Structure 1
Amino acid sequence: MEYLRLIYTDYLFSPDPAVYRAHVQLFHFFPVVCILQSMITTPMGKTSVKSCLNLPGKLSWILMELISPISFFLTFYLNSKDPIATLSALPTSHKILSVLYLIHYVNRALVSPLRAPAYAPAHIIVLTVATYFNYINGYSLSSFFILQQGNVSEVSSWWKLRFSIGVVMWAIGFWGNIWHEDVLYEIRRRAKREHLETAKAKKEEGLGEGIERVIVPDRLVVRAENTGHVYEIPEGGLWSYCWHPHYFMEWVEWTGFLIAAGGLECAPAVNFLVNEIASMTPRAFQGVEFYKRKFGRRLPERKAVVPFLL
């Protein structure tokens, strides 16, 4: 037990500057995983594949996303005789950022998957890599807050402006991510309400191979002949300009968090944003290919993830 305690407090959740720097540097190598990800189809979500190593989508998502806030707060808890006092001693800005962080992960790990009609299975490799990613994310950010106690100047006009801009950006990105995700959820809810999996359909020129058009008024709804899965082109908001606006808005959210946390001074926030972009961009392009396979030549022209740019 003593050995396990030392692992927890002296390495996994240690706020020691040397251990913290080692974890931050390790986080720099995650884009390598993203390069590999761009070479293969990520086995989760729209691009999920059949495998004996698949796990239930919602369960695996909840488990891997909960790791980040657990890691964040365990770092506080295991390194303080009075965790509440440790949190209370944080500068006001770090208290606010801790709350924003918690809000994000309550939504991401619990509210969002429980609201979603369904999640596709995820491969166990995805769960493993994401778990480690979220552990480093939570630990390194928590350690940054602990190590920076008392070193944050909150009195200058520049600090107040930067922090305010960052928090507003975070709020816009957080709301935008939820709103655009709900467009996808509504497509699935509507398919269930209207019984589109069993509705009349017909073959139509220009659609993807093995795809038929479901006969519904005023909408292009298609169905895979072999699985019966129903697909519809998302509309509204930034969906009119790109295929993954929920990704883009999450990047806006974490860019705001980075600005509020001190910009480049907050290495964990920099690492997290860079790795998010690096990991989600290949998935966005894979998602575009997914839509092309379903809608063929009927697919509208949109950017993959950043409106007007990418």
Structure 2
Amino acid sequence: MDITVDTLHDWATWSMIPVGILSFVSLFFQVAPYGRYSAGGAWGPLINAKIAWMLWEMPALAIPAILLWTSGVDSLITNLLSKRTLLATCFMTHYFYRAVIYPMMTRGGKPAPLSVAFLGGMFCVWNGFVQGWYITRYVPLDAPISMSTAVGALIWLWGWLNVVRADTTLIGLRKPGETGYKIPRGGLFELVSAANYFAEIVEWSGYALAAGSLPALSFAVFTFCNVGPRGWRHHKWYLQKFEDYPKHRHAVIPYIW
């Protein structure tokens, strides 16, 4: 059987959901060993937190950028009001922020195991290919922006803006030179402990609606499966660490979970 790039894309797309479900279950038992849960060198050599973020997020920016360039980046410019341009803008905006801007915003941070950066990078290679190939090979250059695409993009924008707001809130909890943890307040943090994760779930759910495709839906499902249990663990950690932690807050989904 001839294995084409399209065949690999199909496999990569379909496998994302079961892998996400497996991650969802396993993360209730295994702590992701970085940040406040850093396990020292138990997971391999430690590297600078800023470098780790750049390493594991960059493939999701670079691979779609290469695919867009090789498919004719000028076509995006001449079709600014097309579905392809809108989806590319949403996806690339998030990962430019995550791979370039966010690491520069952070102050210090605990070193991350090289193995964790490698695994994160492998997922971003995987997802960068899945989303980039879909946008450049399956969305026509002149595909119009439908109502569902426009609504999905607005939901994506709300989610992305709140991801940035939540990140800024968390970074601002510490003044330069300070260590330790504080209770985040304001915005979505008044509703959930993991405001950044909730916003990211909303962001990629909106993107899935905008795209109307299995690759985008698979990524949205994987995002929930990956960050949901981590947000739940953050919530438990906050409740154990702070006696005055707001008891009305939920973990990840306002009023639900």
Unaligned runs of 5+ in 1: 1-9, 198-228
- Tell me the distance in 1 between the aligned counterparts of 2:140 and 2:172: 46
Matches within 5 A, 1:119-130: 119-130=109-120
Q: In structure 1, what is the Cα distance between the partners aligned to 2:65 and 2:199?
A: 26
Q: Show the counterpart of 1:177.
A: 163
User: More relative contact order in 1 or in 2 (CA 8 Å, sep 6+)?
Assistant: 2
SS at match of 1:62: helix
The whole-number CA distance in structure 1 between the counterparts of 2:229 and 2:59 is: 23
**Rg comparison, structure with higher value:** 1
User: Post-superposition shift, 1:89?
Assistant: 8.2
SS at match of 2:181: strand
User: Alpha-carbon deviations, 1:92-138, whole Å to 9, x = none?
Assistant: 11111101211111111111121122222222232122111111111
Give the TM-score taking structure 2 as reference length.
Answer: 0.88
Q: Give the superposed CA RMSD.
A: 2.4
Structure 1 distance, partners of 2:195, 2:220, is 16
**Number of aligned residues:** 251
Is the partner of 1:298 in helix, strand or coil? Answer: coil
CA distance in 1 between counterparts of 2:29 and 2:180 reads 27
- In 2, Cα distance between equivalents of 1:107 and 1:271: 22
Pick the aligned partner of 1:292 from 239, 245, 251: 239
TM-score by length of 1: 0.74
1:163 aligns with 2:153: no
Distance 1:153 1:98, change over 3 A: closer
Measured in 1, the distance between the counterparts of 2:237 and 2:205 equals 28
Matches within 5 A, 1:271-290: 271-290=218-237
Matched, 1:268 2:210: no
Residue 97 of structure 2, aligned match among 89, 107, 115: 107
The answer (yes or no) to whether the contact 2:84–2:140 under 8 Å persists in 1 is no
- Structure 2 residue runs of 5 or longer lacking an equivalent are none
- Share of identical aligned residues, percent? 23
Conservation of the 8 A alpha-carbon contact between 1:46 and 1:290: no
Q: Which residue does 2:13 correspond to in 1?
A: 24
Superposition pairs of residues 220-231 of structure 1, within 5 angstroms: 229-231=179-181
Alpha carbons 1:60, 1:122 under 8 Å: kept:
yes
Partners in 1 of 2:87 and 2:143 — Cα distance?
15
Q: Displacement, 1:85?
A: 5.0
